Amino acid sequence: MTRRGWMALGLCAALAAVVGFSFWQDRTAPKAYTATWWDVFDTVTVVTGYASSEEEWQQQSQAIHDDLLHYHQLFDIYNTYDALTNMATVNAKAGQEPVTVDADLFALLQFGKQAYDLTDGACNIAAGTVLSLWHDARTAAEAASPETALTADILPAGDALQQAAEHMDMDDLVLDEGACTVQFADPDLQLDVGGIAKGWAVEQAAQKAEARGLTSAILNVGGNVRAIGKKPDGSRWTAGVQDPDGEEYLAQVSLEPGQSLVVSGDYQRYFTVDGVRYHHLIDLSALQPARYCRSVAILCTDSGIGDALSTGLFCLPQAQGQTVLAKVEGASALWVLEGDVLLPSDGWPQ
């Protein structure tokens, strides 16, 4: 073979090696996958992430779902489950005797006390007696015929709300860390962990996924968004703040690894009477749905704290909310007022 022939053969071999290497890279490069569930925390959950194979993604996403489903059942105040002492069990028994609970439920209740202090009492897991009256009204409204105009009779009575408010003292929630027990000093106390449970669960599930080796994903559990790492190309995951009256986004943020965006708003769970919207976020100082804003978005490094802050700040005047927000280093907020007026705190991304 001539020298030119050997050169051509060598060039072909080199090209083949490059093509072969590229093909190998393409087959092993992380690919994007998405999983969607409807059976945790009564909302839609969407998890998007990257994995080297569908098998790996199935393992990772199934583990996330299993963790979230466990927390959903553990923190459920309406249903009991076989062989599980959950929030419904605690509410039924802790007014009569100490109830032994598992470490996760105990940790959530400890966090609930911290959230109460953090938010100046606006996020109060001990307010179940009041919140249940509003929950019952929403349930009745949802069950009514769409053709039937709702009247004020469906709203909780003022005297019933006042009586319920006598049984929401956080000091009556007695936690014994050594024994891992829960007891109510007030037998009529009832817990409602809806203001913190979802965010706390998202944070725990994300941390467990990271420990299992998941390096690039974003969890969105009904408005609680948590980033795991970055995308394979080095770009950050993004999340948006929805227009309360539409599907568009009023603001978008890029999330650092481990960062969360949590939004609370009056457009998620509500019913209307005589043109007035009655939603699920209750101002406990007035015992009525909060009217300070349309939504509050929190950007911080812990989804549980983000959930507590979004609930609390929604139910506080903005000036007081700013003071509460300043207690959490690195946290920022965006208030959405009527007419899509945006009020960002210091530190909110511009």
**Three-state secondary-structure class, residue 165:** helix
Cα–Cα distance, 250 to 223 (Å, whole number): 14
- What local confidence, expressed as pLDDT, does residue 48 receive? 98
Q: Do 277 and 85 form a contact (C-beta atoms < 8 A)?
A: no
Q: Give the residues of the chain that fall short of pLDDT 50.
A: 1-26
- What local confidence, expressed as pLDDT, does residue 273 receive? 96
Vertex 96 angle, CA 95 and 99, to 5°:
80
pTM listed for this prediction = 0.90
- What local confidence, expressed as pLDDT, does residue 7 receive? 31
Only one residue has tokens 């009779």, namely 153
- What local confidence, expressed as pLDDT, does residue 27 receive? 56
How many other C-beta atoms can be found within 10 angstroms of the C-beta atom of residue 291?
15
Cα–Cα distance, 221 to 198 (Å, whole number): 8
Cα 88 versus chain centre, distance: 20
Cα–Cα distance, 186 to 162 (Å, whole number): 16
Instruction: Return the structure tokens found at 340.
Output: 């899509």
